[in-house]
Amino acid sequence: MSVVIGEISYTNILPFFYHLDKQKLIEHNCRFVPQVPAQLNNEMSKGRIDIGGISSFAYAENATRYTLLPNLSVTSYGAVNSIFLFSKVPLHELNGKKVALTWSSASSVHLLKIVLEHFHSLQISYTTMNPNVKSMLHDHDACLLIGDDAIVARREYTTSLYHYDLGELWYEQTGLPMTFAVFAVRNETLRDHPSLVGLIYRSFLQSKLESESKNYQPMIADILKTHGGDKVFWDHYFQKLCNDFGQKEQEGLSYYFDLLYQMNYLSQPIKKLHIWDEVKSE
């Protein structure tokens, strides 16, 4: 049986994959599945993906079944630059209005609900849609996009629409970082393949460290070819994202989960983040 590794198909996850020795992991019977976060969340909850990056919200929904991998995340302290609410009217005028949500997200969708409903006391009607600004705004007042869809839309709509960076809105209210993606493993996979999980974990960590030590440069050179944009943007984007998962990041994530539980978006409170104690398990 192979171990299936989920790979978020957005550039923000690349520091963990760009310098990964995929061939070596394939030789160890691993398989890679690139998908957008909502698909990965769903596949992991059904047991069809074993390990990898998922929405932090999806971890909360499955906290008793998953274990978090230490030191790995996609987190922002303030502006994240790839998660935007695009709106025809200023945010505080959205009360009673309709907002379209990208179907690809789980963390940002719930972060938006915190921002609109909890921070600004707005009542909103939501629809989940394909991530396309034109069709989303055809019949809605605002729309949420994430990942590369949001990066591209921001290039196009900076002047014609209001746009709000969700990482920034969260930071302004809480002073805390926001973790959008965590790395998790299904508890059964960890039980059945502890040493392979160790190898995969160390490979992710090594790729992240190499990305950081090379200042993301080889990776950005490739992203420019595949995704366009300018180097200044991508340099700034990766410099600003935090890929650690230390105490402060965990504090921000726990607060996000607490609010979601209070708002009934989570059925169980998350009292503790279960993070793999790698050294003991090996």
Give the binding site for ligand ISJ (CB under 6 A).
Answer: 8, 10, 12-13, 37, 55, 74, 80, 82-83, 105-108, 146-147, 150, 180-181
Q: Computed from CA positions of residues 38, 113, 154, 222, in that sequence, does the dihedral angle turn out positive or negative?
A: negative
What is the separation of C-alpha 161 from the centre of its chain, rounded to a whole number of angstroms? Answer: 24
Shortest Å distance, C-beta 147 to ligand ISJ: 3
- CB closer to ligand ISJ out of 20 and 83: 83
Q: How far apart are the first and last CA of the chain?
A: 20
* CB nearer ligand ISJ, residue 133 or residue 196: 133
Residue closer to ligand ISJ, measured from CB, 179 or 189: 179
The token pair at 229 is 């944009």
Q: Which is nearer to ligand ISJ, 25 or 146 (CB)?
A: 146
Distant-in-sequence, close-in-space partners of 20: CB < 8 Å, separation ≥ 6: 203, 204, 206, 207
List the beta bridge partners of residue 3. Answer: 30
Question: Between 80 and 91, whose beta carbon lies closer to ligand ISJ?
Answer: 80
Rounded CA-CA distance 146/138 in Å is 19
CA–CA gap between residue 38 and residue 59 (Å, rounded):
12
Q: Could you tell me which of 80, 56, 105 has the C-alpha nearest to residue 266?
A: 56
| CB-based contact 59:138 (threshold 8 Å) | no
- Smallest separation (angstroms) from ligand ISJ to the CB of 105: 3
| Encoded amino acid at 220, one letter | I
155: left (phi over 0), alpha (psi -120 to 50) or beta: alpha
CB of 124 to ligand ISJ, least distance (A): 17
Minimum CB distance to ligand ISJ, residue 236 (Å): 14
Distance, CA of 217 to CA of 77 (rounded, Å)? 22
One-letter amino acid at 141 equals D
If the CB atoms of residues 16 and 276 are measured against ligand ISJ, the closer one turns out to be: 16
Q: How far is the CB of 146 from ligand ISJ (least distance, A)?
A: 4
* Least Å from the CB of residue 270 to ligand ISJ: 16
Select 167 or 276, whichever has its Cβ closest to ligand ISJ: 167
Structure tokens at 151: 């990066």
Q: How many CB atoms lie within 10 A of CB 142?
A: 27
CB of 63 to ligand ISJ, least distance (A): 16
**Which residue, 146 or 153, is less far from ligand ISJ as judged by CB?**
146
Shortest distance, position 267 Cβ to ligand ISJ, whole Å: 18
